Amino acid sequence: MELISVKEAPKEFKVALLKALNYNVDKNGFVIDSNGKRVIDKYVDRAVRLENMAIFPGSTIVMDDNPLSIASYIEEHGEIA
């Protein structure tokens, strides 16, 4: 499985990717769910911004791309192959 970073991807690509996963972005740049609520990174308990989002293979978890979130995700779900 190939990992692809979306960090440098165009905004339009990130928004399209989120829409395909039934998410969207609010007017302030935060990722929102299908109910219009901001997505909260469960590992650091803060809202996820479009420019800092990370989506890992095999999941629809949208989280912040900071090292604590990534390490916590890997600890909970195992290493990414």
| For range 29-36, the mean pLDDT | 96
On whether the pTM is more than 0.75, the answer is no
At 30 the pLDDT is: 97
* Cα distances (Å, whole numbers) of residue 55 to 25, 39, 49, 80: 15, 12, 12, 12
Backbone angles phi, psi at 22, to 5 degrees: 70, 35
